[in-house]
């Protein structure tokens, strides 16, 4: 876990305080992050920075090798920004699959209601912002033709 580089508070009127969290994600700081080998885990790894809330979403930084479970977000898009390494992003759309290799500096927006997975055998560090609610996960590749999204 990395500490917040700076945290400032100021008043936005009587009784209201605003706190800004600033995280250091420059190449040197990212290079110091410990990559987790997903084949050795039994639970989701912690974010390399403190998870944060953002407009109904949760964000963080993951640094890993391997393939995490497939994900489905029924309540919004997911944002992925690669900070180091590379990842093969696979997005399923009906009977189609789109595969893109993401490298540092590339931003991907995975559309709502699409199963997707990242594969990073050589390792990747990425910033992610994902809907807080309405998510599903599967270690097995989903059969998308039978999936019905729930938008409740």
For residue 42 the two structure tokens come to 């039994």
Tens digit of pLDDT for each residue in 113-146?
A: 999 999 999 999 999 999 999 998 888 888 865 4
Listed by start position, the domains of the chain span 34-146
Tens digit of pLDDT for each residue in 35-67?
A: 999 888 777 777 888 889 999 999 999 999 999
The DSSP bridge partners found for residue 135 are: 73
| pTM assigned to the model | 0.79
User: 34-146 maps to which CATH number?
Assistant: 2.60.120.10
Instruction: Report residue 147: phi and psi, to 5°.
Output: -85, 130
pLDDT at 20 over 50: yes
Task: Report which of 76, 101, 85, 95 is spatially closest to residue 36, judged by C-alpha positions.
Answer: 85
């Amino acid at each position: 876990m990395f500490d917040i580089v700076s945290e400032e508070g100021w008043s936005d009127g009587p009784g209201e305080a605003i706190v800004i969290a600033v995280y250091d994600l420059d190449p040197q700081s990212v290079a110091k992050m410990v990559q987790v080998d997903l084949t050795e885990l039994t639970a989701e790894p912690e974010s390399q920075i403190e998870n944060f809330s953002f407009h109904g979403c949760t964000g963080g930084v993951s640094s890993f090798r391997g393939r995490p479970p497939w994900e489905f977000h029924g309540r919004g898009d997911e944002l992925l920004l690669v900070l180091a390494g590379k990842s093969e992003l696979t997005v399923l759309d009906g009977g189609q699959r789109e595969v893109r290799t993401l490298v540092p500096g590339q931003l991907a927006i995975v559309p709502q209601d699409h199963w997707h997975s990242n594969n990073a055998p050589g390792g990747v560090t990425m910033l992610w912002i994902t809907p807080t609610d309405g998510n599903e996960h599967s270690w097995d590749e989903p059969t998308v033709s039978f999936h019905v999204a729930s938008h409740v």
